[in-house]
Structure 1
Amino acid sequence: MRLAPNLHRIGNDIVAAYLIVTPEGITVIDAGLPGHWSDLRAELAALGRPLSDIKGVVLTHGDSDHIGFAERLRRDHGVPVFVHAADADRARGGDKPKTAMGPLRLRPLVGFFGYALRKRGLRTTYLSEVVEVTDGDVLDLPGAPQVIGMPGHSPGSIAVYVPMAHAVAVGDALTTRHVLTGRTGLGPAPFTDAPDTALQSLERLSDLEATWVLPGHGAPWRGSPDEVVATVRAAAS
């Protein structure tokens, strides 16, 4: 799905990943679930671009619903996968803290897990190798994505800021569709390791010049990051 001239989305409001598309190549931000591989191939076909145009995958964090096809791209096509050092072990299949699910409703919960099942979410392929990044890095990839440390949902959660696309991908730093309740609109994401820390980290988005805020779950949000931060904080209170 084309959002803007250099910005595309694959997946849907349940689980999404993003493409930064430039003449020099493509950067993938998050890799959804394993079954999103077909969505990726379909989007590339619509763009008239080969798989070889993908120069890197940047993960907002290491959870299984964000690393989907990343290892397939790395292993079979030589595409490097970038993840914050604090989430590298998680992306390789390391232990993840158990977090409380919080409020839920049956229909959205069944919808989330049903979609994950259809997209082969029970067959996670963890990363064998990653390129570790840290806060403040500007990656030598199409769009020159910038790494913004956003600890809270996980220790190594990041936002990926792409000024040329006027966009910031936030992973699970926030959500516009709560996968367990079905609630739409800006709010905190579930399954967060350290909710208070996650809310504090949102301040790092406030000064960014962007018109797109891109969550891993929910519809892309049009609006300034500082307004988004204020709305998520209000929803959490």
Structure 2
Amino acid sequence: MAQVSDHGGGIRSIEVPIPDNPLGHTLVYVVDTDRGPVLVDTGWDDPASWDTLAEGLAACGTSVREIHGVVITHHHPDHHGLAGKVREASGAWIAMHAADISIVQRTRETRPDRWFTYMAAKLAAAGAPEEHVTPLRTAPRRTLPGLSPALPDREIVPGELLDLAGRRLRAVWTPGHTPGHVCLHLEEDHPAGLPGHGRLFSGDHLLPEITPHIGLYEDPDDATVTDPLGDYLDSLERVGRLRPAEVLPAHQHAFTDAPGRVRELLAHHEARLTGLLTLLTTPLTPWQLAERMEWNRPWEQIPFGSRNIAVSEAEAHLRRLVKLGRAEAVAGGDPVTYVAV
């Protein structure tokens, strides 16, 4: 049975499962509007997830066929995955920030071979051992999820109200987790009268008990050196200043005190950066740094795919330290090592 929660004021959430993922589910929000229900995110493209979404919508007194629109907080497959099927069944529009629309376009146009070759080269440059890189060079070329994501037909413009009849939902650009991640500020009084300024659909940007992954913005055709962690920290402060009465995240559960949670996350990343400087008293590659960083389990127990994510996060933190002048690359290394300044 689909797990549905009523948040009041014409907002409900459905727990749509993510297969083989410790997060368990994505919270898909159903927002009543004068033109019909609109979804915030859709969940993973999987038959069981689709069935759960349909059951949840029925429990909300509606159906997939009646969905008027889909607002996607970011392009990841546990959020965007089912958007195409919803549109096929209902004719709904799909909206996403331009930066993540570009990623969807690139994903649709890039052959799997290009992605595997790119990732193998990136990991080798980060100092990954050959036994880790070899499977990427020899893997079957159809094993990546979400290779044909639905192309959105509307662009979410930061700062503007979305076209939702009878609702005031404003887009807040919050890059970091992805380049085009958006939070959605519902500028309406809280139905239970909680103090604060409306409610915030926070996607993966602000979660009650876990820290979202901050990795690199990967693009095989773009060599721009981005600063995703810096983007994320700036976005956190922007969201904290909104002071919503309640946060409706895409995972876990709704919560209050957004400014308090923002302070916790800012402190967490500052502590992590400080800890990495201690590790970098000796020159390390991004892979070596990831091996030594503190994760939710020992490095030896982290599976292959999660190690790739961990190395990306280590590199994001290194880029932040370099930009702040607290670390630098050691000249002449191959692979490149970094050291604290």
TM-score range, shorter chain: 0.7 to 0.9
Find the partner of 2:253 among 213, 220, 226.
Answer: 220
Find the partner of 2:61 among 48, 53, 56.
Answer: 48
**Is the alpha carbon distance of 1:201 and 1:209 closer, same or farther for their aligned partners in structure 2, counting shifts above 3 Å?**
closer
**Is the alpha carbon distance of 1:159 and 1:225 closer, same or farther for their aligned partners in structure 2, counting shifts above 3 Å?**
same
Letter in 2 for 1:149: W
- 2:172 is the alignment partner of 1:169: no
Structure showing greater Rg: 2
Is contact 1:151-1:197 (8 Å) kept? yes
Find the partner of 1:9 among 2, 13, 26.
Answer: 13
In 2, Cα distance between equivalents of 1:20 and 1:212:
15
In 2, Cα distance between equivalents of 1:70 and 1:137:
22
| Pairwise CA distance, 1:55 | 1.6
Is contact 1:68-1:124 (8 Å) kept? no
Q: Which residues of 2 match residues 23-172 of structure 1 at below 5 A?
A: 24-35=35-46, 36-92=49-105, 94=107, 122=145, 125-141=148-164, 143-164=167-188, 166-172=198-204
| Pairwise CA distance, 1:24 | 4.7
Q: How many residues align?
A: 207
**Is the alpha carbon distance of 1:233 and 1:221 closer, same or farther for their aligned partners in structure 2, counting shifts above 3 Å?**
farther
Which of the pair is proportionally richer in strand? 1
In 1, Cα distance between equivalents of 2:89 and 2:106:
19
Deviations 1:127-172 (A, max 9, x none): 1342112211211125332110001111111101123364212222
% identical equivalent positions: 26
After superposition, the CA RMSD in angstroms is 2.7
Q: Which residue of 1 aligns with 2:241?
A: 207
Letter in 2 for 1:61: H
Deviations 1:112-139 (A, max 9, x none): xxxxxxxxx9466411342112211211
**Is the alpha carbon distance of 1:53 and 1:89 closer, same or farther for their aligned partners in structure 2, counting shifts above 3 Å?**
same
**Is the alpha carbon distance of 1:214 and 1:192 closer, same or farther for their aligned partners in structure 2, counting shifts above 3 Å?**
farther
TM-score by length of 2: 0.54
Q: State the secondary structure of the residue aligned to 2:54.
A: helix
Q: State the secondary structure of the residue aligned to 2:242.
A: coil
Deviations 1:57-78 (A, max 9, x none): 1111111221111011223321
Uncovered stretches (5+) of structure 2, i.e. residues with no partner: 17-22, 124-143, 191-197, 217-227, 272-341
Is contact 2:233-2:266 (8 Å) kept? yes
- Runs of 4+ in structure 1 over 6 Å off: 95-100
| Pairwise CA distance, 1:85 | 0.6
Is contact 1:67-1:91 (8 Å) kept? no
Q: State the secondary structure of the residue aligned to 2:32.
A: strand
Uncovered stretches (5+) of structure 1, i.e. residues with no partner: 101-120, 177-184
Q: Which residues of 2 match residues 176-191 of structure 1 at below 5 A?
A: 176=208, 185=209, 187-191=210-214
User: Which is worse superposed, 204-213 or 154-163?
Assistant: 204-213
Q: Which residue of 2 aligns with 1:232?
A: 265
Is contact 2:173-2:180 (8 Å) kept? yes
Structure with bigger RCO (C-alpha 8 Å, 6+ apart): 1
Q: State the secondary structure of the residue aligned to 1:206.
A: helix
Which of the pair is proportionally richer in helix? 2
Deviations 1:28-71 (A, max 9, x none): 11111013322221122112223343221111111122111101
Is contact 1:88-1:130 (8 Å) kept? no
